[in-house]
Each structure stands twice: as structure tokens, then as C-alpha cells.
Amino acid sequence: MVSSEIDLPADYVDLLEALRARITGARIQAQRTVNTLVIELYWSLGKDILARQTSQGWGTGVIRRLAADLAVSFPDMKGLSYRNLQYMTAMVRAWGAAENVPQVVAHLRWGHIRMILDKAATGEERDWYAAAAVQHGWSRNVLLNMMMNQSMERTGTAPSNFTRQLAAPDSELAQQMAKDPYNFEFLGLSGEVAERDLENALTSRITETLRELGPGFSFVGRQVHFDVDGDDYYVALLFFHIEQLRYVVIELKRIRLPFS
């Protein structure tokens, strides 16, 4: 047990925090390195199996036997199942234009890769979600939510005047933050809803709201007061986009659409 009566040097706390940060960083780097090595291994296995499927007509029976024999040789490894071997070949088929595993794929966890292979309908979707998951550090649950909500299709497609009001590249950055449309079905609201009720629902389910807005958003406040040349303004919802270092204002307005 460490005694609390010891007279510590003046710089002890600073050194302790520095060492903690260094150790944490080294552990994260080690995990990333191990993960990359695992994905590179899976790529090489998938590549060899796929080559034999193509040249020798290997069927499911041979691959099942291969999985069983590998499981006997490496009983402590959980990633050599028949199903995983299938995913390994699917990974190579999906990104097989590269000789080696693409860098963005190597930085993904295996569960992320499997999910992208299952859910992405096109090569463009695979590449977009793989890159976004690496860039934003999405967990597997967040990745699934983004794919189910079709974030790629809706990001940057909302109508706006960004290109007229902002100079490039600011207009492009602002455009990337917007979706069309947003999906707030998780609020459970139906029929006509008052603006304040919608505001209350969005803030009470702030985790789901941030997830729907997309990566990089943090919640600042509601009904935030601004004084502009002596006039008072109140912003319904104010967010800050961490990556783009800008505030995002959301004003809730009820619009009655005409019947067609």
C-alpha cells in the first residue's frame, strides 16, 4: 500500500500524467498494430483461398475441411471458422483491385469489415463507409446506424445556399455536414407537433439526435441567447462541429405543405 504521507517532488503530478498519457498512447498503438497484422493475415488467407476457388474450383466442402484443420492446429484462435474464411474471400473480392490490403481496410476492425460486406450494396458504399469509419473512429454500432440510415446518400445533399454565401472550401465543408432528409423516427412523434415539443424531444434523446446528425457534432444548448446590435435572438438548438471548428444552428419551423 502506498503511503499518502510521502513528500512528493514538485513535478511529480506532471510526470505522472505524462507517463499515463505515454502508456495509454503506446497501448492504443499496439492494439492498432495487432489489428492491422490480423487484417493483413486474413487478406492473405482470403487471397490464397480465392485463387484456388478460381483455378481449381474449390467448393464449400474443401473450405469447411480447411477451417476444421486450422481450428485443430490453432485452437486458441477464434477467427478461423468456415464463416470467417468466407468473409476473407469476400473481402478480397470487394477490394481485390489492390495487390495488398488497402490501407483504409487494414485500419478497420474485423467486425466493421464484416458489417460493411454485409450491408453495402455497391463498391462506392463500401469505400465510403470504410473511410468514414476510420476517419471518425465509429464503433460497430454507430457504423450500423449510419448504414441503416443511408448516411452516404443523405450527407451533403440537403438544399442550401452554402455555395452562394460561403467561399470554397468553406462551402464544401458546410455542405458535407448537411443531410437530406434527417430521420427522427426514434422520437416516436406522430401527427402535428409543436416546435417546442419537437425541441424537447430532440434534446431529451440527445444521444440519438447527435448520431442522426452525423459524426463530429457536440450539443451546446437550447434557446441560446444572442445579442446582435441590441436585438435579442434565441437559437432553438446550437451545436458545435468539432472537426470543422464551427457552430451549427438548428431552427425548428412548422411548415404546412399543400396537398397535391
Is residue 89 within 8 Å of residue 49, measured between CB atoms? yes
pLDDT for position 175: 56
pLDDT of residue 179: 60
Give residue 162's pLDDT.
Answer: 47
pLDDT of residue 256: 56
From residue 255, give the alpha-carbon distance in Å to each of 4, 152, 192, 196, 237: 64, 27, 10, 14, 18
Question: Which single residue is written with the C-alpha cell 442550401?
Answer: 160
Q: Could you tell me if 178 and 159 are in contact, meaning their C-beta atoms sit under 8 angstroms apart?
A: no
Q: With CA atoms as reference, report the closest residue to 131 among 152, 149, 150, 100.
A: 152
pTM score over 0.75: no
The answer to whether 134 and 108 have CB atoms below 8 angstroms apart is: yes
The domain spans of the chain are 12-150, 182-250
- Alpha carbon separation from 237 to 218, 220, 225, 246, 252 (Å, rounded): 11, 8, 11, 14, 8
Cα–Cα distance measured from residue 244 to residue 177, given in angstroms and rounded to the nearest whole number: 9
Give residue 69's pLDDT: 95
**Ramachandran sector of residue 65 (left: φ over 0; alpha: ψ -120 to 50; beta: rest):** alpha
Rg (C-alpha) for the chain, rounded Å, is 25
Over its length of 260 residues, how does the chain's per-residue pLDDT go in tens digits?
454 578 888 888 999 999 999 999 999 889 888 989 999 999 999 999 999 998 998 999 999 999 999 999 999 888 899 999 999 999 999 997 667 888 899 999 999 999 999 999 998 999 999 988 888 888 888 888 888 877 777 665 555 554 454 555 555 555 555 565 666 667 777 666 677 777 788 887 887 887 777 777 888 888 888 777 777 778 888 888 877 777 888 777 665 545 44
The residue with cell 475441411 is 65
The rounded distance, in Å, linking the Cα atoms of 120 and 71 is 30
CA dist 77 and 69 (Å) reads 12
Between CA 225 and CA 204 the distance in angstroms is 20
Residue 102 is classified by DSSP as: -
Strand order of the β-sheet with 217-228 is: 217-228, 231-241, 246-250
